[in-house]
């Protein structure tokens, strides 16, 4: 029976970064992920990752994959179905079983979508799920933000610093979840117009997004639409292991440890407040280092 020092579940930037550091610590590492590169690989353009003025998500993730392969890290494109903690962690995928001393959960999250016709078609062509990533493309243009929480309001304020006009479209009568600081910032910003008790019902355009329909009649011409209605964390494995959650995210400490011994978590699936590729990579580096220290101590005993 082959036993790995560390099994990383999730093949996105957090998981790849953890694998890179763990391999350099000379650990036996396995990465398991159903989707190589994770959701980061689907990004149309990335302009805020250090070292690259502009790169597609697929290109960046391919570079990470090639880098860790050169360090002889095993990568399995499989889906984890179940996990049990015994003396070792037993991980069952749709194809095999694997055993490891420590695990890092890097299963990420999926941005909630509006589920409108042509939404997928216009992703990267006017529709974005990350203002931090894509705001720079909308200088002096008209944009809309769907949502009314902290993420939506901070996105609107960021966009207002570059765009000509920003609409916030929110289905409730007022902001009730967002922090007061962000609400006041939005209310004071002359570039931002809030449309309450409204929902986007249709998106239109030829080769890219050109306008949105609000309710049954009203249309607004926009160059971009930022969807900020929350995310769906991939918590299946966390729930199986009984890992403590904070809201809809895995709760970790500064060393990326969960409440379950031997289990670390990194990236978008955790309570990390900033969901970005660069922060996921940082999480992965920290988790790999802490796992390495634990393994060294345990072997000495």
> Which residues carry out catalysis?
130, 133-134
143: which strand partners?
166, 224
From the number of C-beta atoms within 10 Å of its C-beta (0-12, 13-18, 19+), residue 70 rates as exposed
- Using CA atoms, how far apart are residues 183 and 157, in angstroms rounded to an integer? 10
- Using CA atoms, how far apart are residues 162 and 191, in angstroms rounded to an integer? 10
Q: Would you give the DSSP letter of residue 78? A: -
Yes or no: say if 37 and 17 are a contact pair by the CB < 8 Å rule: no
- Using CA atoms, how far apart are residues 187 and 191, in angstroms rounded to an integer? 10
Listed residue (120, 141, 131) closest to 226, CA to CA? 131
100 sits in which H/E element: strand 97-105
Tokens of 194: 């809030």
- Using CA atoms, how far apart are residues 263 and 1, in angstroms rounded to an integer? 21
Could you give phi then psi for residue 21, rounded to 5 degrees?
Answer: -70, -40
């Amino acid at each position: 029976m082959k036993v790995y020092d560390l099994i990383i579940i999730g093949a996105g930037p957090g998981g790849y970064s953890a694998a890179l550091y763990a391999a350099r610590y000379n650990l036996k590492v396995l990465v398991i992920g159903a989707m190589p590169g994770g959701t980061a690989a689907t990004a149309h353009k990335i302009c805020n990752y250090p070292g690259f003025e502009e790169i597609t998500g697929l290109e960046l993730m391919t570079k990470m994959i090639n880098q860790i392969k050169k360090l002889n890290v095993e990568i399995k494109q499989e889906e984890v179905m179940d996990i049990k903690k015994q003396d070792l962690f037993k991980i069952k995928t749709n194809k095999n079983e694997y055993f490891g001393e420590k695990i890092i959960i890097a299963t990420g999250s999926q941005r909630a979508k509006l589920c409108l016709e042509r939404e997928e078609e216009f992703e990267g062509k006017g529709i974005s799920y990350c203002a931090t990533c894509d705001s720079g493309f909308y200088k002096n243009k008209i944009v809309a933000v769907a949502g009314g929480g902290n993420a939506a309001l901070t996105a609107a304020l960021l966009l207002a610093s570059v765009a000509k006009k920003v609409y916030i479209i929110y289905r409730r009568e007022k902001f009730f979840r967002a922090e007061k600081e962000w609400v006041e910032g939005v209310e004071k910003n002359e570039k931002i117009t809030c449309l309450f008790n409204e929902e986007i019902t249709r998106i239109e355009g030829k080769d890219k997004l050109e306008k949105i329909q609000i309710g049954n009649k009203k249309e607004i011409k926009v160059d971009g639409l930022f969807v900020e209605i929350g995310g769906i964390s991939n918590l299946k494995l966390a729930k199986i292991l009984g890992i403590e959650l904070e809201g809809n995210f895995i709760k970790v400490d500064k060393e990326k440890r969960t409440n379950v011994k031997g289990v670390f978590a990194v990236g978008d699936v955790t309570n990390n407040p900033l969901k970005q590729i660069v922060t996921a990579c940082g999480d992965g580096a920290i988790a790999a280092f802490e796992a390495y220290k634990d393994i060294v101590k345990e072997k000495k005993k």
